[in-house]
């Protein structure tokens, strides 16, 4: 049995043998995935293991499959796209005196894997006694290069007083496990998606059968003598020896296929693993210097926020003009699709921690603008209608009430454009892509909104972020974000000014959508979460039950639209109706809880978001990490306890700490400067390597390059948490001794 070891500031350590029966094997494969946004290697063990989920994911390498409906309807997508497992170069079989190395046989005396967040490497060490009694020591190291987008590398060393044979493979169309049939969020598994095109002893060329996307994978081995054999589906390098075999393996991938793959592989092999590792460390040193978050008083959160930032970086760093999937390149969950949370969560975090990859991600959206315009025409709308789920640009979701009806995707993209430009001043991006994205997303609202006979504008029949409240009128998040979109594009100012903002006078709260507070209440004696797996959507849609932060999210991204008292009443009302059946919810609830003085509640929500994948439980699974939740850990800390807000192109802070954190320090980029904000129990200090003007607690201030700006902060009373049908589990840091672990 394996477990994640107690928290270490810069390492994630797994001790013990991963067990396929309790899900630890699949979960570990997600946690220990390595990627650079272009190439992703799932954290599989090197030796073949039928209980695992092999994964070599190449951004936007997908296969098409047909969508089938019990009843066809106009505008239903006819095809979808599914990420495929590309040519796998991780697979290495070991034989000891003729016996196969397999953790399920013999005796495992030691098994440990370590993900180093500063080095960007995964190391594995094993001591195993074969069924024949031979003691075997195995050490492997692997990386996916941040500096060389197409390159991955592995170093393998085995020692034993025995005859050794190693078979190191590059293989396509390996066997995959069947998907879970009881969860609609899992991916389809496509058997044999590739057809061979060409091969020789150092590279394979293949092509997906329907989407006709070609890929070439090249491999080289150094450090030991070996022989090579090849077929259209397999290149195998075999080395034999007694006592020890050590070698380095270099992989390069290109799609569409081109000859540069050989040059990339050869350069990596010539330079060697140590050089690649040094480049990796230098890249990450630079990243952490401008992005690190330091947390004193909570070692679990300290480890988790760095783990989250590392995986957010891995999802986007070299994605280039490709999407950032909801699972990154750590698994095939959601079919490898990108969703709205890329712009709303992932790019929000990257804008301040690694802005260089945000412009290309938004240019990818711009590159798919033609598809979005076509979709709008199909729906009878103006401008562009960006998809709910996609890889290559077309709408890939067959469930339209939560997909096509979620028009807020347009406004989320526009919001990301505005934030990126405000934080970087990248005028060239605006000329090339940003202005057109703002205009085309805004045009949609002019055709979908209408005025009633009182002159109030409405957007009818849409679904907001909360997928349990579908096809409603005037979703407040959608309306407020559409309003911002219209104003930024300079289109239809009257429409923007007149959009309805639903408010229930009798209850003195804003309505998530018009009429929401008049719906029947949900019976919260049902604790079978997530509800969508045990209740029909018809029942969910007609009750006051909230899957994830919706109006609460609106209060975070449009703070100008609500007074402080309105935020307090709204937060309490929706806490009592939110079940968090989505990993997107806890980070946002943490931010508003912190702002409103529910500091320990905010700490609990932060822990739920940050530890979701790293410590398991809840929604976590083996089909890939929740990259938006990884970003959400940063959001909860920096926007919650750091009080960062960025509405209207203006940077502001209102920091406060929960009782059990002693210090919070975070770095961020703003208009070419690198800032550091340090919050203690009684003060906040701002430093920067460039002049920055911002607001502190509502007052405009300036920190000059190389200087320090310090303010006293008042201790806030920790207010009790409002009632909730599904309160977060109390975080151990402050629950200790209270009997509520």
Please identify every residue annotated as catalytic.
Answer: 467
- Residue whose token pair is 């209980």: 51
Burial class of residue 443 in the structure, from the number of CB atoms within 10 Å of its CB (0-12 exposed, 13-18 middle, 19+ buried): buried
> Checking DSSP bridges between strand 293-296 and strand 449-451, what pairing results, if any?
unpaired
Closest CA to 318 of 544, 483, 445, 149: 149
Check if the beta carbon of residue 261 is closer than 8 Å to that of residue 219. no
d(Cα 150, Cα 148) in Å, to the nearest integer?
6
Buried b / exposed e across 599-612, counting CB within 10 Å, b at 16+? bbbbbbbbbbbbbb
Tokens of 42: 């799932």
3-state secondary structure of 619: coil
Residue 133 neighbours by CB under 8 Å, 6+ apart: none
Of residues 49, 11, 22, 1, the one with CA closest to residue 620: 22
Over 547-607, what HEC string results? CCCCHHHHHHHCHHHCCHHHHHHHHHHHHCCECCCCCCHHHHHHHHHHHCCCHHHHHHHHH
Closest C-alpha to 512, from 475, 557, 556:
475
Q: CA–CA separation, 89 vs 142, rounded Å? A: 11
Do 32 and 113 contact (CB within 8 A), yes or no? Answer: yes
**Do 43 and 4 form a contact (C-beta atoms < 8 A)?**
no
617, two tokens:
């439980």
User: Using alpha carbons only, how large is the chain's radius of gyration in Å?
Assistant: 26
d(CA 702, CA 198): 61
């Amino acid at each position: 049995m394996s477990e994640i070891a107690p928290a270490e500031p810069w390492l994630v350590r797994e001790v013990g043998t991963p067990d396929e029966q309790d899900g630890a094997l699949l979960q570990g494969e997600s946690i220990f995935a390595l990627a650079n946004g272009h190439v992703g290697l799932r954290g599989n063990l090197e030796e073949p293991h039928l209980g695992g989920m092999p994964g070599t994911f190449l951004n936007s390498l997908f296969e098409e499959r047909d969508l089938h409906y019990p009843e066809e309807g106009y505008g239903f997508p006819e095809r979808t796209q599914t990420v495929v497992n590309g040519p796998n170069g991780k697979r290495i079989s070991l034989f000891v005196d003729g016996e196969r190395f397999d953790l399920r046989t013999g005796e495992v005396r030691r098994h440990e894997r370590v993900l180093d967040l500063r080095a960007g490497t995964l190391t594995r060490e094993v001591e195993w006694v074969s069924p024949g009694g031979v003691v075997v020591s195995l050490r492997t190291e692997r990386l996916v290069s941040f500096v060389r987008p197409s390159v991955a590398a592995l170093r393998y060393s085995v020692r034993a007083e025995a005859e050794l044979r190693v078979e190191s493979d590059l293989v396509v169309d390996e066997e995959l496990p069947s998907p879970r049939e009881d969860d609609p969020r899992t991916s389809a598994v496509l058997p044999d998606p590739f057809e061979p095109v060409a091969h020789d002893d150092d590279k394979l060329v293949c092509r997906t059968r329907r989407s006709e996307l070609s890929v070439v994978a090249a491999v080289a081995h150094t450090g030991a003598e070996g022989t090579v054999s090849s077929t259209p589906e397999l290149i195998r390098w075999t080395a034999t020896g007694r006592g020890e075999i050590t070698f380095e393996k270099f992989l390069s991938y290109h799609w569409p296929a081109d000859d540069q793959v050989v040059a990339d592989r050869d350069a990596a092999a010539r330079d060697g693993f140590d050089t690649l590792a040094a480049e990796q460390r230098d890249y990450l040193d630079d990243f952490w210097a401008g992005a690190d978050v330091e947390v004193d008083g909570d070692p679990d959160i300290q480890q988790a926020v760095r783990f989250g930032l590392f995986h957010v970086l891995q999802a986007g760093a070299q994605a280039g003009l490709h999407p950032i999937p909801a699972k990154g390149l750590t698994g095939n969950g959601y079919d490898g699709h990108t969703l709205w949370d890329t712009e709303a969560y992932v790019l929000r975090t990257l804008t301040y921690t690694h802005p260089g990859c945000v412009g290309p991600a938004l240019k990818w959206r711009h590159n798919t603008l033609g598809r979005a315009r076509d979709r709008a025409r199909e729906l009878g709308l103006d401008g562009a209608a960006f998809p709910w789920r996609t890889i290559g640009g077309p709408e890939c979701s067959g469930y339209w009430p939560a997909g096509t009806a979620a028009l807020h995707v347009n406004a989320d993209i526009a919001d990301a454009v505005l934030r990126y430009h405000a934080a970087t001043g990248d005028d060239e991006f605006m000329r090339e892509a940003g202005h057109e994205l703002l205009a085309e997303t805004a045009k949609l609202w002019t055709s979908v909104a209408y005025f009633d006979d009182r002159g109030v504008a409405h957007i009818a029949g849409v679904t907001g972020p909360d997928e349990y409240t579908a096809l409603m009128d005037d979703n407040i998040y959608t309306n407020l974000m559409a309003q911002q979109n219209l104003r930024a594009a300079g289109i239809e100012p009257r429409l923007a000014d007149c959009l309805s903002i639903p408010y229930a006078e009798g209850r003195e709260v804003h309505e998530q959508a018009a009429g929401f507070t008049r719906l029947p209440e949900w019976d919260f004696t049902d604790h079978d979460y997530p509800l969508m797996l045990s209740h029909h959507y018809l029942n969910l849609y007609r009750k006051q039950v909230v899957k994830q932060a919706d109006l609460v999210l609106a209060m975070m991204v449009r703070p100008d639209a609500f007074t402080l008292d309105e935020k307090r009443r709204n937060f309490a009302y929706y806490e009592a109706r939110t079940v968090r059946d989505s990993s997107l919810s806890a980070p946002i609830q943490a931010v508003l809880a912190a702002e409103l003085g529910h500091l320990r509640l905010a700490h609990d929500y932060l822990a739920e978001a940050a530890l979701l994948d790293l410590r398991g439980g809840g929604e976590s699974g083996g089909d890939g990490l929740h990259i938006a939740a990884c970003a959400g850990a940063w959001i909860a800390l920096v926007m919650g306890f750091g009080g960062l807000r960025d509405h209207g192109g203006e940077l502001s802070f209102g920091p406060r700490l929960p009782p059990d954190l002693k210090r919070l320090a975070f770095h961020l980029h703003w208009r070419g400067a690198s800032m550091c904000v340090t919050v203690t129990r009684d003060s906040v200090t701002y430093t920067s390597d460039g002049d920055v003007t911002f607001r502190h607690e509502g007052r405009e201030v300036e920190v000059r390059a190389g200087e320090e700006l310090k303010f006293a902060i008042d201790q806030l009373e920790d207010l009790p948490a409002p009632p909730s049908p599904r309160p977060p589990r109390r975080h151990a840091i402050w629950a200790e001794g209270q009997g509520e672990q």
